[in-house]
Structure 1
Amino acid sequence: MATPTELGRTRYTQVASVIRSVVQQVQVLWKGMSPTTVEDDLEGAAGAAIVAAVAQGQLTVADAAQAYIAAQMAAQGGTALAEATLVAAAFAGVAPDGGPLETLMFLPAIGVRRRLAAGMGADEAMLGGLADMARYASTAVADAARSADQVGMAANRSCVAYVRVVRLPACARCIILSGQMYRYSEGFLRHPNCDCQTLPLRENEWPNVPTPQQLFERMPQREQRRVFGVTGARAIGEGADVAQVVNARRGMSRPGASTTTEGVTRRGLYGRRMRRAGGGFASYPGQRYSRSTTPRLTPDAIFRQASGRGEQLELLRRYGYIV
C-alpha cells in the first residue's frame, strides 16, 4: 500500500498535470486573438472555449478528490468510507472568489487594454494578457482541487486535520508555512498561482513533510537569493529563523467569498435543488435565466459558519456539494 506521502505526491502530480493541460489549451486559443479584438474574442467563441477548458479542469481535479481522501485515510489506518458523496460538478465553473468563471476569464482583456493605453506595444500587451490568463486559470483549477479535498475531508470523520505540503520551487511565503498543521475545516492560505496542497491526517501527528529550514537547505544558492533576497538568504544561512525573515501572511489569503452565483439558475445544480424544495426565483436585467432568491454559500463560508462536522455536512448537502 502506498504511504500517505506517496499518495500526496500522486495527487499533486495529477493536479499539476491537469493545470498544465489547461494552460496549454488556453495558450493555443489566445494565439488566435488580436489586441484590437481581444474583448470581443473573450466574449465570443474563444472566450467560451477557454472557460470550458478551465471548468473541465476543475471538474477533473474535483472528481478525484474523494478517492484521494479515502486512500489517505485507509493508508493511515482509518476508514475509507465517507458519510456522503462529493458532487464534483459543484466545483466547476466557479472562480476562486465565488463569482462566475466567465467574469474571471474576461479580466485579461482589461489588462491588455490597460497596457496598450500605457503605451506598451501590441505584442508585449498580449503577452502580458496571456500571463494573466494562465495565472487565473491555474489558480482556479488549484483552488477547485483544494476546496474539493477539504469537502472530502469533512465527509470522512476519520480525517481530523491537514498539513500543508510545499514542493520546490516555491516562494518564501509558502516555504515558511511548510509542515504547518490545521483543522480539516480551516481555510487554506494561498496566493495566485499557489500550488501547495493539503495532506489529510487521521491523527494529530506530523507526517514526513519538510520544514522551512529543510526546504531552504535543499535550494541552490542562486534560488535562495532569488526567493529570500541576498540579505535574507545570508541571514537564514547564518542561523536566522526563516519565519522571522519572511512575513508569513504577506500576499496570502483564504478564499473569502461567502456566496457564489454558480449553479443558482433554475437549470443550475443548486437551482434545481431549490426548485424541488419550493424555493423562490427572480429575474434580473441582463440575465437570461431567473435565479434562486436563496444565496448559495461557498464551502469556505460553510466551514467558517458551521459549529461542527454535523452542521457542516448538513449545509454542504443543502448547497449541493455532497449528496
Structure 2
Amino acid sequence: MTTAEVAQDHYRDRQAIAAAVAAEAAEAWRELNPGDLDAWDLPAAQLAVVLTGAQQQAASAADDYVDTALSEQGAEPSPAGRVDPRRFAGVASDGRPLEGLLRSPVVATKLALARGTTVPRALATGQATLDMMVRTQVADAGRAADGVAVAARPSTGYVRMLQGKSCSRCAILAGRYYRWSAGFWRHPRCDCIHVPARGEQAARSEGLVSDPKEFFNSLSPAEQAQLFTKAGAQAIRDGADMNQVVNARRGAAGLSKPGGRLTREEQRMLRGGRDRGELARTDVFGQQVFTTTEGTTTRGLAGQRMREQGARTTRESGETVTRRARGGDVQRTVNRRRVQAPRLMPESIYELADSRDDAIRLLKRFGYII
C-alpha cells in the first residue's frame, strides 16, 4: 500500500464518521416544529454530545494514521508523545462550545424567514447550515489531531492532499511539502487532508508533491470556470499565475476575507443576505471596474510589478508651487500627489483589453503573470 492509499483510507474513515453524525443531525432537524424554532435548544444540546463523541473518534485515529503512513516510507520515528483525542472534542473550530455553534441553524432559518423566504426553504437553509457545521467540526477535529501527530514526530512534515474537485483556494495550497509548524488553512466543508512525509525528498519519491497547474489542467473548461470563475480560468489558460489569480479574490471588493471570527449568519448579513460573496464594482476615475487590494503593498508582487510598469497616476492634492510667467512670478495651487492605481481583477482586464495581447499585457502589469 502506498502512502497516498493510506491517506485515502484515513479520509474515507473520517468521512464515514461525519456522515453518521450528519444523518442524525438531519433527523433531529426534521422533527423540529416550524412554529417553535426555539425548541431546537434541547435537540442541539443532545446533538452536541453526539458530535463530541464523533470528534473524539476522528481524533483517535491520528497516531495510527501517521505511523502507518511513515512506515510505508520506511521510517519509524519515535514520537515525542501521543495524541490525546479528548482534547479535540467538545469545542468548535473557532473556540466556542458546540452547543452555541449548533444553535446557528435556527438563526439562519429566522434570517431567511425575515427576508420573506417560504417556511420550507427557510428550514432547508437551516438544515444545510447544520449539515455543513457537523461535517466541518468532525473534519477539523481529525485534521487538528493529525497535525499534532505530525508535530510529535521528529523530521516529519506533511503534504496537503486534495479530495475530489476541491476549490480554487485549496488547489493552490495542495501538492506542496510543509514543515510540521505550518498552519493548515481550511474552509467550511473543506475535505483536504494531511499526508505525513519524512522530508520533501520522501514526499517527492512517494509522488505526493505535485503542481497545482496539473489539477487545473485535469478539469474541463466548464469545471475550471466553476472553480476559478470564468475570467479567472481564462487568465490561467492565458498564462497567469494561479496563486495571483486566486489570492487576488481575498482582497476583492465585496468578498469577505477568510479567517475572520464572524459567524456564517453574520457574514451573510454583511453581504446583504447573500449566501456567497460576490464581486462588486468600484468607481475608478469614472469607470466601474472590479478591483482588489491583495498584493498591492510595497512588498506585494503585484504592487512591485505595478510600480515597475508605471501603473501610477497623478491626482490633485493641495501643494502650492510657484512658476514664472510673463510679468513676474505667479503662485498657484496645483494640488498634485502620486497615488497607487488600483489593481484590476481579471474580470475587468478582459472587459477593457482590446485584444488577447493587450489582456496578457495587463495581466503582467497587475502581477497575474510572472
TM-score bracket, normalised by the shorter chain, equals 0.7 to 0.9
User: Is the counterpart of residue 192 in structure 1 residue 178 in structure 2?
Assistant: no
- Report the Cα distance in structure 2 between the residues aligned to 1:119 and 1:221, rounded to whole angstroms: 37
- After TM superposition, give the deviation of residue 80 of structure 1 in Å: 5.1
1:51 corresponds in structure 2 to: 48
- Report the Cα distance in structure 2 between the residues aligned to 1:104 and 1:248, rounded to whole angstroms: 30
1:22 corresponds in structure 2 to: 21
SS in 2 for 1:169: coil
- After TM superposition, give the deviation of residue 254 of structure 1 in Å: 9.2
- Report the Cα distance in structure 2 between the residues aligned to 1:169 and 1:36, rounded to whole angstroms: 39
Equivalent positions of 1:269-308 (< 5 A) are: none
- After TM superposition, give the deviation of residue 34 of structure 1 in Å: 2.2
The one of 256, 259, 267 equivalent to 1:253 is 259
The one of 53, 62, 70 equivalent to 2:59 is 62
Equivalent positions of 1:89-128 (< 5 A) are: 89-128=86-125
TM-score, normalised to structure 2, is 0.64
Equivalent positions of 1:163-312 (< 5 A) are: 163-205=159-201, 206-207=203-204, 208-209=207-208, 210-247=210-247, 250=250, 251-253=257-259
Comparing 58-67 with 9-18, greater Cα deviation is found at 9-18
1:36 corresponds in structure 2 to: 35
| 1:61-119 deviation per Cα after TM superposition (whole angstroms, max 9, x unaligned) | 11111100111222222215423222112211110012211111111111111211222
- Report the Cα distance in structure 2 between the residues aligned to 1:13 and 1:227, rounded to whole angstroms: 23
Equivalent positions of 1:127-138 (< 5 A) are: 127-138=124-135
Mark the CA change 1:95 to 1:248 in structure 2 (over 3 Å): closer, same or farther.
Answer: farther
- After TM superposition, give the deviation of residue 194 of structure 1 in Å: 1.0
Q: Look at both structures and tell me which one has the larger radius of gyration over its CA atoms.
A: 2
- After TM superposition, give the deviation of residue 165 of structure 1 in Å: 1.0
- Report the Cα distance in structure 2 between the residues aligned to 1:178 and 1:254, rounded to whole angstroms: 22
1:287 corresponds in structure 2 to: none
Instruction: Report if the CA contact (8 A) 2:56-2:85 is conserved.
Output: yes
- Report the Cα distance in structure 2 between the residues aligned to 1:36 and 1:185, rounded to whole angstroms: 49
Mark the CA change 1:173 to 1:48 in structure 2 (over 3 Å): closer, same or farther.
Answer: same
Instruction: Report if the CA contact (8 A) 2:167-2:227 is conserved.
Output: yes
Larger strand fraction of residues: 2
User: Is the counterpart of residue 73 in structure 1 residue 70 in structure 2?
Assistant: yes
Percent identical residues: 34
Instruction: Report if the CA contact (8 A) 2:92-2:101 is conserved.
Output: yes
Letter in 1 for 2:225: R
Instruction: Report if the CA contact (8 A) 1:177-1:248 is conserved.
Output: no
- After TM superposition, give the deviation of residue 20 of structure 1 in Å: 1.8
- Report the Cα distance in structure 1 between the residues aligned to 2:5 and 2:248, rounded to whole angstroms: 27
- Report the Cα distance in structure 2 between the residues aligned to 1:21 and 1:31, rounded to whole angstroms: 16
Letter in 2 for 1:128: T
Instruction: Report if the CA contact (8 A) 1:70-1:81 is conserved.
Output: no
- Report the Cα distance in structure 2 between the residues aligned to 1:57 and 1:164, rounded to whole angstroms: 23
Aligned residues: 252
| 1:266-321 deviation per Cα after TM superposition (whole angstroms, max 9, x unaligned) | xxxxxxxxxxxxxxxxxxxxxxxxxxxxxxxxxxxxxxxxxxxxxxxxxxxxxxxx
Gap runs ≥5 in structure 2: 251-256, 262-370
1:6 corresponds in structure 2 to: 5
